[in-house]
Chains A and B, each alone.
Chain A
Amino acid sequence: MLDIKNLKVTVDGKAILNGLNLNVGPGEVHAIMGPNGSGKSTLANVIAGRDGYEVTNGSVTFMGNDLLSMAPEDRAREGVFLAFQYPVEIPGVANIALLKEGLNAARRHRGETELDALDFLKLVREKLKLVEMKEEFLYRSVNEGFSGGEKKRNEIFQMAMLEPSLAVLDETDSGLDIDALKTVAGGVNALRSEDRSIILVTHYQRLLDYIVPDRVHVLAGGRILRSGDKQLALDLEERGYGWIDTVAA
């Protein structure tokens, strides 16, 4: 699904990722953990195609294609989704208008017809249920005045609507209380499937009690320092990131 080789990225001339390797197979859930500032969001943004990140080396292959040469909107239409760590508020653009535009752009891209209003609404209602969101959120401006938890739910709702092949969830768990966390995790679990891969960026082990990952990676100093199964997350919780540094050194 996703194959990252020796990825080096700089921001404003400062090296953030220093030769990162990561391979995520179809249907797998990988967790990426690491201290603040270790480059987790940088990796997520590079996958989504945000400006301002310079790839100086390496490759990112998504379903056999060179992801880095694709425009961000094409990545989205090909099935890449990023749930933002800090979802931006967009006054004046209704949630539903964004979804309709995004969903239909992907359908056109795949040579399918656009959904008619009725089918669209049916789909929307079904997905709202998944994350326990009220219908009124559809007609509100994107994220405007949403609480932290509502913003994170809205990200997962959008993911459910767009049905990506690869979803990168950047700290979707942070700022959620335990009930919201369970709801969001439930939504994500419902979207797990054989042909959908998920990368969970988090720095708490807590989320992984609810979404059990196939692999856990530790990102520090711009590299994957260690990979393992879910036990690695538990070890990290107990011993902290310092332990990884010493083991790696």
Chain B
Amino acid sequence: MSAMESHAVPYVEAQQAHASELPAAGVAALDRSRLEALEILGERGLPSQHDEDWKYTSIKPITRSRFSPAVSGVDCSEHFIAASAIDNLDAWQLVFADGFHLPHRSKTDGLPEGVQVTGLAEALTQDPAPIVDRLGFAMGEMPHGFSAMNSAFVGDGALVEVDPGVQLDKPIELLFVSGCSGEGFLSLPRNLVILGDGSEASIIERHISFGAERSLSNSLTEIILGKSATLNYCCAQDQAERTFHVGGLFCRLAQSAKFKATTITMGRSWVRNDARINLDAEGAHANLDGAYLAFGRCHVDNHTHISHNAPECTSRECYKGVLGDRGHAVFHGRIVVQPHAQKTDSEQSNQNLLLSADAQIDTKPQLEIYADDVKCAHGATVGQLDEAALFYLVSRGVDRETARRMLTQAFAAEILETVTPSALQNYLASRVLSQLSPAVPPEAVA
């Protein structure tokens, strides 16, 4: 047995031990899909650096010790949730402790007709068939062992379903708190978002840590957008140093659907994100943006994959990273234009600001074009703070420290400024600023 396979063994065994207790166990189709995922996990194991997509990301920090799947019944204090709230954000909210929905902490009053916002386990227990049908659809082929693990345990998480034509006037916040069970637990939330034709919604997915406990959060979100549906989605990852986060974002877009996703990675944790967007029908548009901070010794890896599967779709992707100390970030962005996807219009960029000589970025933008009538552009940059701009600020009396912070913040602002609603944007900007304050060192200039 290889190391990759052996690392998966404790999780395979844990699933086998608990399979009968998972939500809606006994529903044949669900049991079958869990078992299939379990087989994939067993066969492929957890990823290693021999795997091309994991070349720059070692999972050693995770495999050093094993994590036990958290069990339902865990709670998170009202006080903690209130203290972590986003100021002035008017939103419906589902709260999760180690991946389990806490109905008594959630706020879904006043949701309009035709909108379901609930825990996935609850929905699976009530009426599994329509959910089971759609689980795994947006993801398609599982990218790696972690997504197989999530699928083998699939149980709780969020279900958001918006009927055709319904437009939500407030965002829905999905708040995931990890580390609630104590030291060494694994959470496996699975979120399913389905927007009917012509519907509109905003979703905020936020991941935070309860304390300093070592925990692994393996979270997977699947999104299915109907014709002309519009989703404004923001994922805010703001976890503590000993939280390991593997995030999956999978979205399929029907004709003329619009998806705007922004992933902001702050915090001090080890993070690996996989995003896969499938533009399945004409006129679909995806905007996939991200900003990441990598300070201290933290590691942030973003793998994105946008597939143009139909003609006349557009995609815009921009990821910006700020790295300091001994931070390490990885960006691998793939754009694939399938043979019949003529008139594709796609732009991708990855820009990085390196504030320390010990920080490291591995960036790889990648275009694969199999159609001939397309407009595609991509590029990556790595740079330091602009000395001329810095002197300009300082010559106006601004101290060097503040000047560096202003320029660094300005760099990230390009992404943050596209985030709505403004309460969320302000929150993210202040979180980013607070992380930058002590972290921009004096030698940060080229």
**A residues near B, CB below 8 A?**
48-51, 71-73, 75-77, 81-82, 84, 87-88, 90-93, 97-99, 101-103, 105-106, 109, 141-142, 158, 162
Contact = CB atoms under 8 A, between A and B. Distances in A.
Contacts of B399: 73, 105
B414 interface: yes
A77 B47 CA distance: 56
Contacts of A99: 396
A76 B395 contact: yes
B392 A87 contact: yes
13 contacts: A71-B400, A72-B394, A73-B395, A76-B394, A76-B395, A88-B386, A88-B389, A90-B393, A90-B410, A93-B406, A98-B398, A102-B396, A106-B397
Contacts of A106: 397
Contact of B396 (A71, A76, A92, A141): A76
Which of B386, B394, B409 has most chain A Cβ within 10 Å?
Answer: B394
A100 B340 CA distance: 55
Contacts of B413: 92
Contacts of A49: 395
B446 to A, nearest CB: 11
Given A73-B400, A101-B402, A90 B394 contact: no
B208 interface: no
A92 B414 contact: yes
Contact of A48 (B393, B395, B410): B395
Nearest to B408: A92
B141 interface: no
Interface of B: 386-389, 391-400, 402, 406-407, 409-411, 413-414
B398 A90 contact: no
A178 to B, nearest CB: 28
Contacts, number: 78
A73 B397 contact: yes
A66 B409 CA distance: 34
A73 B398 contact: yes
Nearest to A80: B395
A234 B140 CA distance: 79
A162 B397 contact: yes
A51 B406 CA distance: 20
Nearest to A143: B392
A77 B397 contact: yes
Contacts of B396: 76, 98-99, 101-102, 158, 162
Contacts of B407: 90, 92-93
B397 A90 contact: no
B406 A101 contact: yes
A142 B395 contact: no
Contacts of A101: 393, 396-398, 402, 406
A105 B398 contact: yes
A73 B406 CA distance: 15
Given A92-B409, A93-B389, 12 more contacts: A71-B394, A73-B399, A76-B394, A81-B395, A88-B392, A91-B410, A92-B411, A98-B393, A102-B397, A105-B398, A105-B399, A162-B396
Given A51-B387, A92-B413, A93-B406, A103 B397 contact: yes
Which residue, B391, B396, B406, has most C-beta atoms of chain A within 10 A?
B396
Contacts of A91: 410, 414
Nearest to B411: A92
A73 B410 contact: no
B397 A142 contact: no
Contact of B406 (A77, A82, A97): A97
A81 B396 CA distance: 7
Nearest to B410: A92
Given A90-B407, A97-B406, A73 B392 contact: no
B353 to A, nearest CB: 11
A38 B79 CA distance: 68
A72 B392 contact: no
A144 B387 CA distance: 16
A98 B387 CA distance: 16
Which one of B388, B392, B402 has the greatest number of beta carbons of chain A within 10 Å? Answer: B392
Given A93-B406, A101-B402, A101-B406, A51 B393 contact: no
Nearest to B399: A73
A106 B42 CA distance: 65
A76 B388 CA distance: 16
Nearest to A45: B391
B392 A142 contact: yes
A103 B396 CA distance: 8
Contacts of A103: 397
Given A73-B394, A98-B393, A105-B399, A93 B410 contact: yes
Contacts of A71: 394, 400
A133 to B, nearest CB: 17
Contacts of A98: 393, 396, 398, 406
B411 to A, nearest CB: 7
A99 B397 CA distance: 9
A15 B388 CA distance: 22
Given A51-B387, A97-B406, A90 B400 contact: no
B397 to A, nearest CB: 4
Contacts of B406: 93, 97-98, 101
Contacts of A102: 393, 396-398
Contacts of B400: 71, 73
Contacts of B394: 71-73, 76
A105 B393 CA distance: 12
Q: Which of A51, A92, A162 has the most CB of B within 10 A?
A: A92
Contacts of A92: 407, 409-411, 413-414
A72 B328 CA distance: 33
Nearest to A74: B397
Nearest to A109: B397
Contact of B392 (A81, A90, A141): A90
Contacts of B386: 88, 90
B155 to A, nearest CB: 43
A28 to B, nearest CB: 22
Nearest to A141: B410
- Name, among B386, B395, B411, the residue most crowded by chain A CB atoms within 10 Å (CB to CB): B395
Contacts of B393: 90, 93, 98, 101-102
Nearest to B391: A50
